[in-house]
Amino acid sequence: MSESKSKSFTLLLYLIVILATIVFIFPIAWMFLTSLKSQNDAFTAIPKWIFTVTFDNYQTVLFERDFQKYLWNSLYVSVFSTVLAVILGSGIAYPFARYNIKGAKDILTWILTLRIVPPIVSVLPIYLLFSNMNMLDTYTALILMYTFMNLPLVTWLLYGFFKDVPGEIEESALVDGCNRFTAFFRVIFPIIGPGLVSAGLLSFIFAWNEFLFANILSGPNVRTAPVGLNEYATPVSVLWGQIAAAGTMIIVPIAIITLVLQRKMVSGLTMGAVKG
């Protein structure tokens, strides 16, 4: 009887997982199919599952609407902000994890609260700040914004990774002739490599997908891909085929990077979650 219940429960879990997978994947699959349709097929009241495949939407988006420039802007800003966030986060998290700093828990909690604050609350002061500094529509403004937006998350993740590294390893490196600086980069950094990948990938994804700050701080020169999607929704109509093609191109790089680095990301998150 118990074995029968166990099999029924396992079957129920599989059904739930399959249904959840379909719910999550269907919008992405539908967007991809829409990107391969002509404008007339995309606008039909009854969805067409059998249609003539066309790549005109991708050609229009990339070469006529200059969307490749927006993709490059997103890549440039996301990569630089991620590198800065990981470097600064490492410098903040390491001393808190390695030394007994008075009030460390309170400071780390305060750092985390910076990530909890709704972004919409700080939109106006941030806009006025960058406007007064003549930094609107510049790469520097977006890189700084994304760096400090992701810094609390990166700091907390790396704090867990540094905490898991035994202090004896660093002491052995110091005995072997390393100083604090070389021991940090030659010994500690390679050990927490999966953790750096996890923190960096999450930071990159948040920067790549960010819309609110990019919408108010960017202009024609540094407009990012999520903001560029607005161009396909006009007062007259929505260009569903083109907006689907642009959305697909935004998702594909993140999907590829995640698939390539998923093992290191999972091992990194596991490492940061285990406390000795």
pLDDT digits (tens, 9 = 90+) for 186-222: 888 888 888 888 889 999 999 999 999 999 999 889 9
**Tokens (6 digits) for 140:** 């520097």
**64-273: in CATH 1.10.3720.10:** yes
Q: What is the DSSP letter of 233?
A: B
**Is 60 a residue whose pLDDT tops 50?**
yes
Question: Is residue 58 within 8 Å of 35, Cβ to Cβ?
Answer: yes
pTM (predicted TM-score) = 0.84
pLDDT of residue 269: 53
Question: Is residue 157 within 8 Å of 198, Cβ to Cβ?
Answer: yes
**Across residues 148-162, what is the average pLDDT?**
89
CA distance 158 to 105: 15
pLDDT of residue 154: 92
Most confident segment among 1-15, 178-192, 204-218: 204-218
Instruction: Quickly list H helices, the chain.
Output: 2-35, 39-42, 56-59, 67-98, 104-116, 123-132, 139-164, 167-175, 180-183, 189-191, 193-209, 212-217, 225-228, 240-273
- Can you say how many angstroms the Cα of residue 151 is from the centroid of all Cα atoms in its chain? 13
State the number of CA atoms in the 13 A half-sphere of 121 facing the CB. Answer: 5
Letter string b/e over residues 42-69, b meaning 16 or more CB atoms within 10 A of that residue's CB = beeeeeeeebeeeeebbebbbeebebeb
Question: Is residue 77 within 8 Å of 207, Cβ to Cβ?
Answer: yes
Q: Could you tell me which residues come within 8 angstroms of residue 92 by beta carbon, excluding any fewer than 6 positions away?
A: 111, 151, 155
**Across residues 223-233, what is the average pLDDT?**
90
User: Average pLDDT of the chain?
Assistant: 85
pLDDT category, 175, cuts 50, 70, 90?
confident
pLDDT category, 273, cuts 50, 70, 90?
very low
**Is 275 a residue whose pLDDT tops 60?**
no
**pLDDT: which is higher, 249 or 167:** 249
**Is 264 a residue whose pLDDT tops 70?**
no
CA distance 244 to 36: 9
Rounded to a whole number of angstroms, the CA Rg of the chain reads 23
**Is 237 a residue whose pLDDT tops 70?**
yes
